[in-house]
Chain A
Amino acid sequence: MAVTSPPMDLRGHEEENYLNWAYGVKSWLLTTDHKRIALLYLVSVTFFFFLGSLAAFLLRIDLMTPQGDLMTSDHYNRSFTIHGVIMVFLFLIPAIPGIFGNFLVPLMIGAKDLAFPRINLGSWYVYIISGMFIIAVVIWGGVDTGWTFYTPYSTTYANSAVVLTVLGVFLVGFSSIMTALNFIVTIHKMRAPGLTWFRLPLFIWAMYATSIIIMLGTPVLSATLILAGLERIFGIGIFNPDLGGDPVLFQHLFWFYSHPAVYIMVLPAMGVASELITCFSRKRIFDYKFIAMSSMAIALIGFLVWGHHMFVSGQSVYAGIVFSLLTFAVAIPSAIKVFNWTATLYKGTIIFRTPMFYVLGFIGLFTIGGLTGLFLGALATDVHVHDTYFVVAHFHYVMVGATVMAYLGALHFWWPKMTGRMYNEGLGILSAVIIFIGFNLTFLPQFILGYLGMPRRYHVYPPEFQALHVASTLGSTVLGIGYVLPLCYLIWSLRFGKEAGPNPWGAVGLEWTTTSPPPHENFEKTPVVTTEAYNYHPFEEEV
Chain B
Amino acid sequence: MSDFPLFPEQASTVAWQVDLIYFTLVALSIFFSVAVAAAIVFFALRYRQGADVDRSHPLIEHTKLELTWSIIPFIMAMGVFGWAAMVFVDIKTPPADATEIYIIGKQWMWQAQHPSGKREINQLHIPINTPVKLIMTSQDVIHDFYIPVFRVKQDVVPGRYTTLWFQATKTGEFHLFCAEYCGTEHSAMVGTVVVMEQSEFKNWLGGGSSDEPLAVAGERLFTENGCITCHSGEPGAIGPPISNVSIFGTEVEFADGSTGTVDEAYLRESILDPQAKVVAGYAPVMPSYDGQLSEQSLLQLIEFLKTK
Tell me the A residues contacting B by CB distance below 8 Å. 73-74, 77, 144, 146, 150, 152-153, 156-158, 240-242, 246-248, 281, 283-284, 286-287, 290, 311-314, 317, 320-321, 324-325, 328-329, 331-332, 335-336, 338-340, 342-343, 345-352, 360, 363-364, 367-368, 371-372, 374-375, 377-384, 386-388, 448, 451-453, 455-464, 466-467, 470, 538-539, 541, 543
**Closest-CB distance, A23 to chain B (whole angstroms):** 41
Given A152-B141, A332-B74, A364-B37: A350 and B44 interface contact (C-beta under 8 Å): yes
Q: List 29 A-B contacts (CB under 8 A).
A: A150-B142, A150-B180, A152-B140, A157-B141, A247-B142, A248-B157, A281-B47, A314-B157, A317-B92, A321-B88, A347-B54, A347-B59, A348-B47, A372-B29, A380-B84, A381-B25, A383-B151, A384-B151, A386-B179, A387-B146, A451-B22, A452-B5, A453-B8, A453-B148, A455-B146, A455-B177, A457-B181, A459-B187, A464-B5
Name the one of A246, A343, A383, A466 contacting B1, with C-beta atoms under 8 angstroms. Answer: A466
Given A157-B141, A347-B59, A463-B2: A367 and B36 interface contact (C-beta under 8 Å): yes
Chain A, Cβ-Cβ closest to B146: A455
3 smallest beta-carbon distances between A and B, as pairs:
A453-B148, A241-B159, A379-B88
Question: What residues on A are CB-neighbors of B180 within 8 Å?
Answer: 150, 387
Name the one of A241, A281, A349, A380 contacting B160, with C-beta atoms under 8 angstroms. Answer: A241
Q: 0/1 per residue, B184-221, Cβ < 8 Å to A?
A: 11111010000000000000000000000000000000
Question: What residues on A are CB-neighbors of B178 within 8 Å?
Answer: 455
Question: What residues on B are CB-neighbors of A320 within 8 Å?
Answer: 88
Chain A, Cβ-Cβ closest to B22: A381
Cα A371 to Cα B140 with chains together (Å): 37
Interface segment among B61-69, B94-102, B119-127: the answer is B61-69
Cα A312 to Cα B136 with chains together (Å): 13
Given A152-B158, A463-B1: A350 and B49 interface contact (C-beta under 8 Å): yes
Question: What residues on A are CB-neighbors of B3 within 8 Å?
Answer: 464
Tell me the B residues contacting A by CB distance below 8 Å. 1-8, 14, 17-18, 21-22, 25, 28-29, 32-33, 36-37, 39-40, 43-45, 47-50, 54-62, 65-66, 69-70, 73-74, 77-78, 80-81, 83-85, 87-89, 91-92, 107, 140-142, 144, 146, 148-149, 151-155, 157-160, 162, 175, 177-188, 190
Contact assessment for B144 and A387 in the assembled complex, using a CB-CB cutoff below 8 Å: yes
Most chain A CB within a 10 A radius of its CB, from B39, B62, B148 = B148
**Closest-CB distance, B30 to chain A (whole angstroms):** 9
Contact assessment for A346 and B59 in the assembled complex, using a CB-CB cutoff below 8 Å: yes
Most chain B CB within a 10 A radius of its CB, from A328, A368, A448 = A328
Question: What residues on B are CB-neighbors of A77 within 8 Å?
Answer: 181, 183-184, 186
Given A287-B61, A317-B92, A332-B74: A325 and B154 interface contact (C-beta under 8 Å): no
Given A347-B55, A453-B8: A371 and B47 interface contact (C-beta under 8 Å): no
Cα A93 to Cα B183 with chains together (Å): 27
Chain B, Cβ-Cβ closest to A76: B187
Question: What residues on A are CB-neighbors of B6 within 8 Å?
Answer: 448, 452
**Closest-CB distance, A187 to chain B (whole angstroms):** 24
Contact assessment for A290 and B66 in the assembled complex, using a CB-CB cutoff below 8 Å: yes
Question: What residues on A are CB-neighbors of B149 within 8 Å?
Answer: 453
Most chain B CB within a 10 A radius of its CB, from A146, A329, A343, A459 = A343
Chain A, Cβ-Cβ closest to B181: A457
Given A452-B148, A538-B55: A367 and B181 interface contact (C-beta under 8 Å): no
Cα A242 to Cα B190 with chains together (Å): 25
Chain A, Cβ-Cβ closest to B92: A317
Cα A70 to Cα B116 with chains together (Å): 45
Contact assessment for A539 and B55 in the assembled complex, using a CB-CB cutoff below 8 Å: yes
Name the one of B5, B7, B40, B152 contacting A384, with C-beta atoms under 8 angstroms. Answer: B152
Chain B, Cβ-Cβ closest to A375: B25
Contact assessment for B159 and A242 in the assembled complex, using a CB-CB cutoff below 8 Å: yes
Most chain B CB within a 10 A radius of its CB, from A150, A314, A456 = A314
Question: What residues on A are CB-neighbors of B43 within 8 Å?
Answer: 342, 345-346, 348, 350
Contact assessment for A453 and B146 in the assembled complex, using a CB-CB cutoff below 8 Å: yes
Chain B, Cβ-Cβ closest to A341: B40
Contact assessment for B69 and A335 in the assembled complex, using a CB-CB cutoff below 8 Å: yes
Question: What residues on B are CB-neighbors of A377 within 8 Å?
Answer: 81
Contact assessment for B141 and A342 in the assembled complex, using a CB-CB cutoff below 8 Å: no
Contact assessment for B80 and A328 in the assembled complex, using a CB-CB cutoff below 8 Å: yes
Most chain B CB within a 10 A radius of its CB, from A331, A352, A457 = A457
Contact assessment for B69 and A379 in the assembled complex, using a CB-CB cutoff below 8 Å: no
Contact assessment for B70 and A317 in the assembled complex, using a CB-CB cutoff below 8 Å: no
Name the one of B47, B73, B92, B190 contacting A347, with C-beta atoms under 8 angstroms. Answer: B47
Question: What residues on B are CB-neighbors of A74 within 8 Å?
Answer: 184
Contact assessment for A383 and B18 in the assembled complex, using a CB-CB cutoff below 8 Å: yes
Given A345-B40, A347-B59, A463-B2: A328 and B8 interface contact (C-beta under 8 Å): no
Question: What residues on A are CB-neighbors of B14 within 8 Å?
Answer: 380
Question: What residues on A are CB-neighbors of B66 within 8 Å?
Answer: 287, 290, 336, 340
Question: What residues on B are CB-neighbors of A246 within 8 Å?
Answer: 159
Chain B, Cβ-Cβ closest to A286: B59
Cα A505 to Cα B222 with chains together (Å): 82
Contact assessment for A332 and B70 in the assembled complex, using a CB-CB cutoff below 8 Å: yes
Contact assessment for A467 and B80 in the assembled complex, using a CB-CB cutoff below 8 Å: no
**Closest-CB distance, A257 to chain B (whole angstroms):** 19
Question: What residues on B are CB-neighbors of A332 within 8 Å?
Answer: 70, 73-74, 77
Chain B, Cβ-Cβ closest to A326: B81
Contact assessment for A360 and B44 in the assembled complex, using a CB-CB cutoff below 8 Å: yes
Chain B, Cβ-Cβ closest to A152: B141
Contact assessment for B81 and A457 in the assembled complex, using a CB-CB cutoff below 8 Å: no
Name the one of B5, B32, B83, B186 contacting A371, with C-beta atoms under 8 angstroms. Answer: B32
Chain B, Cβ-Cβ closest to A68: B187
Question: What residues on A are CB-neighbors of B45 within 8 Å?
Answer: 350
Cα A311 to Cα B162 with chains together (Å): 13
**Closest-CB distance, B102 to chain A (whole angstroms):** 16
Chain B, Cβ-Cβ closest to A155: B141
Contact assessment for A312 and B144 in the assembled complex, using a CB-CB cutoff below 8 Å: yes
Most chain B CB within a 10 A radius of its CB, from A311, A329, A367 = A367
Question: What residues on A are CB-neighbors of B153 within 8 Å?
Answer: 312, 383-384, 386-387
Contact assessment for A380 and B17 in the assembled complex, using a CB-CB cutoff below 8 Å: yes
